[in-house]
Structure 1
Amino acid sequence: MERILHTPRGELIPVASYARTSQDGRQRDGRGVTRQHRLNDRTAAQHGCIVVATYTDNACSASQGDDRRPAFEHLLADLHRGHAFTFGSLRGVVAAADDRLYRRPEDLIRFLAALTANPGRVYVDRDGLRDPYSKEGILAAATSLQEAVSEGRMRSRRLQDWHWSRAMDGLPHSGPRPFGWLEDRRTLHPVESDLMRSAIADRIAGKAVREVAREWVGRGITGTRGGRPTPQTVTQILTSPRVCGFRSNRGELMTDPVTGDPLVGVWEIIVTPAQWSAVCATFSAGSLYMHRGPLSPRLTERRSGPKYLAAGFLRCGAETAAGGECAQPMSGSRTTRSRKSPFNYVCAGGRGCGRCAISGPLVDDAIERLLFPEGETGPIRMPESIRRRWKSGEMGFEDKRRVIASVFTSVVIRRGRKGHADWDYARVVPQWKWADRVQLPQRGT
């Protein structure tokens, strides 16, 4: 262990700080990962190290095999490469706890392989420096993995049992209030409940759900999280068993174990069970509330996902009346007005200001220019293998989005000027994930 406790000439050991949370709070302020990075800075300083690069996966689970953790993948790539772009070598990693980095054996193996790709590396946590090459270091990592797996299973089982018990008691779901009820989740919302009652009656009479959604938008109605009503969300609202008092859990209608009758909740109802059954009968099975969501049975192997490369990364940069930025997500939308721009990214009205739109191909091209600048003079330098695959067309859509997610926290779109038809790349303003990287100082300076 002594061979990794000292560096030449008393220099600090340059390490990467990794932070991850499974969920972000309602404020979406990233407070959890910020706290972890602060702890990592203190831990590094206590053990003769200094953080030269930060890697953040906010609201990303590490327990499931299909989860995406772009910052973790970027960290592994940098460790294999031996440096964090142009800011010097990486000689270790610091994390608040082992389970922030890995919760699956596959991830532990990949992390250790990347960390030990070069000699003299260290792993730092609140207990101190760990030698990842030694038998003791590997055993400690395996032990922490076993504890994390056991803890995760136990926590998941307790949570499932808690939700099931609440469902059997007829108590409402936890989380954000359901549309149509007040914050107590029992008392009807005077406006939203009337809208739902009328919409259910209209739908049974043959009205298109698309028209219902359009009317709600026209009246300025938003979801409980501020989203704009769409035909899909309206369908889920109208076909939820809650509207007639029935209780569901994990995609299944709860029934009395003795009588087999549906369990009735403790909240006020909007329509009768007969009306709920009637409105459900007007939709196909794949549209119903009970057939949607991550825990519900899928009718097809296809998964919905982004259709446009920058979807989910763009934020509206239009100025608000209060002097700030709109900052709402911008979505892709097809258009037939221009051959040069067959689709645009727009800030939708209702959720956002609705006053900012930009050519989709312009944004996609601008992002490619930022990732792969001419002469490699930009703030980052992507590996040549990624550049080649991207430029040659070998890289798929999802892989490209993972590359974008590993480099940008978001991309702000400034408003254009009327009468200027030329593409203005300055409207695309990147928010780099690596903007907080610092030069490595020497001890005593």
Structure 2
Amino acid sequence: MSSELSNTGGVVSHHAARDSSGLIPVVSYARRSEDSRQRDGHGVRYQLRINERTAHEQGCIVIAAYSDNGRSASKAGVARPGFDRLVADLALGHTDSGQRMEGVVCVADDRLYRRPEDLARFFAALTSRPGRIHVDPRGIRDPYSQEGLLQAVRSLDAAATESRARSRRVADWHWARAAEGVPHSGPRPFGWRADRITLHPEEAQLVVQAISDRIAGKAVRAIAADWCDLGITGTRGGRPSAQTVTQIITAPRVCGYRANRGELLLIPETGQPVRGQWEPLVMPDQWRAVCATFSPGSLYLHRGSGAPGRTGQKRTAPRHLATGFLRCGAQRRDGSMCRGALCAQKGRSKKSPYVYTCRNCGRCSISGPLADEALERLVFSEHRGVAGPSQLVWDRWRSGEMGLDEKRQVVASVITRCIVRPGTKGAASWDHSRVEPLSEHPGQAGWEYAEPTGP
């Protein structure tokens, strides 16, 4: 059955197939860039509810939902598993459960795309079959018409303009705060209380002693090890490492100076460093002295998301599947779990050409191929009680069509971190149960999958 569909701009020139109830089957998509406060996915849930109302008002019915929580659409290189599945299913013409899809409903175009390449992917998949529609709160749009494409391009241009303006406003706001000596926003700096102005007695003493020890020639790794033995954790709960200790003791804030975007902020009229509003830990000459103990290639001031790498070189891409996903499950002296990151290193046997070893305590190590295989089993397991990748993804993974980067994106869409329990010395066989998922990915709400047959 088919009929013409009215739109705010007139009459759609094509026909959309309806189901037995007389409604047009469409799929819903929602995306939220940030979910930093409540971290419960409420933003995408609200969008999906609005999409259901919009579909009902336009004579449609939502048969499947896709979402990406905490995922930017304007930044290059950000994986959006929900959007990727939507595009793939549109190209196939049906959902994982075999239901035919006749269109897409979304609260706004910028939820779907903010980059030209994403617009091209979406429209190519949407119009890969005849008779489909694009639905938003303003009505039903014809994606095959010239006006429908122009409207999408106008939405893309408006989204790009908005992103540039917002980025500029945020950068100016941070610079103005820095110029007045206001402390950094975000997590409190180590050594100061929650107000970021008053010194934290215990932490401040540790930083002052670390600066003195480093000037005297003590290795940063030794300082980090001492902090670990004392049970010290960072303001985010992590264990101290040589890199974090270096960033703490070389930060301009230790002597009261203010930096912005990785550079020391100077007063334009005098050229003198801007003084912060917080209590300093050491004098400026001590800060300069500890910074001088590091080579120029360390770029100690270069910190933050907009700063270059510490060595001035691009970070190499991971060469193994489980890199970044594994955490140490060994027990520390105080009885707590280490939870340090396991890093890939060269192995000593043909069966284990590489191994993952804890960079903090060094007491937990696992064969690289074993860890990768265990991670694969967890991702495609049918018994973890959560939805996993589709059968199509599993088929591509197993056939060898999927590259390492794409495999890692699939893992990240299901699992956040895994704990690796220490192995038994002299064990004759591999124990996949040593790798246990620590938490599931928070952005699963709203996705619909068909449970695959895993390994």
TM-score > 0.5, shorter chain as reference: yes
The verdict on how the C-alpha distance between 1:106 and 1:217 changes in structure 2, with shifts beyond 3 A counting, is: same
Query: Would you say the 8 A contact 1:312–1:329 is kept in 2?
Result: no
Moved more, 238-247 or 142-151: 142-151
Q: Where do residues 29-40 of structure 1 align in structure 2 (5 Å cutoff)?
A: 29-40=40-51
Structure 1, residues 325-360: CA drift from partner, whole Å, max 9, x if none?
x9x7964455869864542477988xxxx9998654
The verdict on how the C-alpha distance between 1:410 and 1:203 changes in structure 2, with shifts beyond 3 A counting, is: closer
Letter in 2 for 1:255: L
Candidates 308, 312, 315, aligned match of 1:303: 315
- Is 1:106 matched with 2:117? yes
Distance 2:410 2:284 in 1: 49
Query: Would you say the 8 A contact 2:35–2:41 is kept in 1?
Result: yes
Candidates 253, 259, 263, aligned match of 2:274: 263
Candidates 361, 366, 376, aligned match of 2:369: 361
Distance 1:16 1:62 in 2: 19
- Is 1:17 matched with 2:28? yes
Query: Would you say the 8 A contact 1:308–1:332 is kept in 2?
Result: no
**SS in structure 2 opposite 1:191?**
helix
Matching residue of 1:62: 73
Matching residue of 2:250: 239
**Alpha-carbon offset, residue 396 of structure 1:** 4.0
* TM-score normalised by the chain length of structure 2: 0.79
* Count of paired positions: 418
The verdict on how the C-alpha distance between 1:57 and 1:358 changes in structure 2, with shifts beyond 3 A counting, is: farther
**Alpha-carbon offset, residue 81 of structure 1:** 1.9
Distance 1:297 1:413 in 2: 31
Matching residue of 2:214: 203
Structure 1, residues 9-50: CA drift from partner, whole Å, max 9, x if none?
335433333222222314543333333333333433443434
Distance 2:341 2:100 in 1: 37
Matching residue of 1:401: 408
Matching residue of 2:240: 229
The verdict on how the C-alpha distance between 1:340 and 1:11 changes in structure 2, with shifts beyond 3 A counting, is: farther
Matching residue of 1:423: 430
Matching residue of 2:88: 77
Letter in 1 for 2:226: E
Q: Where do residues 272-421 of structure 1 align in structure 2 (5 Å cutoff)?
A: 272-298=283-309, 299-313=311-325, 331-332=342-343, 334=345, 340-341=351-352, 342-344=354-356, 359-368=367-376, 380-382=391-393, 387-390=398-401, 396-405=403-412, 408-410=414-416
Letter in 1 for 2:369: P
Query: Would you say the 8 A contact 2:106–2:135 is kept in 1?
Result: yes
**Alpha-carbon offset, residue 365 of structure 1:** 2.1
Root-mean-square deviation (CA, aligned residues, Å) is: 3.7
**Alpha-carbon offset, residue 427 of structure 1:** 6.7
The verdict on how the C-alpha distance between 1:304 and 1:235 changes in structure 2, with shifts beyond 3 A counting, is: farther
Percent identity over paired residues: 54
Query: Would you say the 8 A contact 1:87–1:437 is kept in 2?
Result: no
Query: Would you say the 8 A contact 2:133–2:142 is kept in 1?
Result: yes
The verdict on how the C-alpha distance between 1:370 and 1:210 changes in structure 2, with shifts beyond 3 A counting, is: closer
* Alignment gaps of 5+ in structure 2: 6-13, 331-336, 382-388, 451-455
Query: Would you say the 8 A contact 2:141–2:148 is kept in 1?
Result: yes
Candidates 260, 264, 268, aligned match of 1:253: 264
**SS in structure 2 opposite 1:145?**
helix
**Alpha-carbon offset, residue 289 of structure 1:** 3.5
Query: Would you say the 8 A contact 2:71–2:80 is kept in 1?
Result: yes
Letter in 2 for 1:309: L
Distance 2:327 2:98 in 1: 29
Candidates 175, 184, 192, aligned match of 1:181: 192
Letter in 2 for 1:303: R
The verdict on how the C-alpha distance between 1:61 and 1:232 changes in structure 2, with shifts beyond 3 A counting, is: same
- Is 1:122 matched with 2:129? no
Query: Would you say the 8 A contact 2:241–2:360 is kept in 1?
Result: no
**Alpha-carbon offset, residue 426 of structure 1:** 6.3
Matching residue of 2:165: 154
Distance 1:204 1:384 in 2: 57
The verdict on how the C-alpha distance between 1:357 and 1:36 changes in structure 2, with shifts beyond 3 A counting, is: farther
Query: Would you say the 8 A contact 1:246–1:264 is kept in 2?
Result: yes
Letter in 1 for 2:144: Y
Query: Would you say the 8 A contact 2:261–2:303 is kept in 1?
Result: no
Distance 1:91 1:428 in 2: 42
The verdict on how the C-alpha distance between 1:34 and 1:226 changes in structure 2, with shifts beyond 3 A counting, is: farther
Structure 1, residues 208-236: CA drift from partner, whole Å, max 9, x if none?
00011111111121111111111111111
Structure 1, residues 365-417: CA drift from partner, whole Å, max 9, x if none?
245567789xxxx9623386664434xxxx543233234345x3557669699
**SS in structure 2 opposite 1:114?**
helix
Query: Would you say the 8 A contact 1:16–1:51 is kept in 2?
Result: yes
Distance 1:169 1:264 in 2: 8
**SS in structure 2 opposite 1:129?**
strand
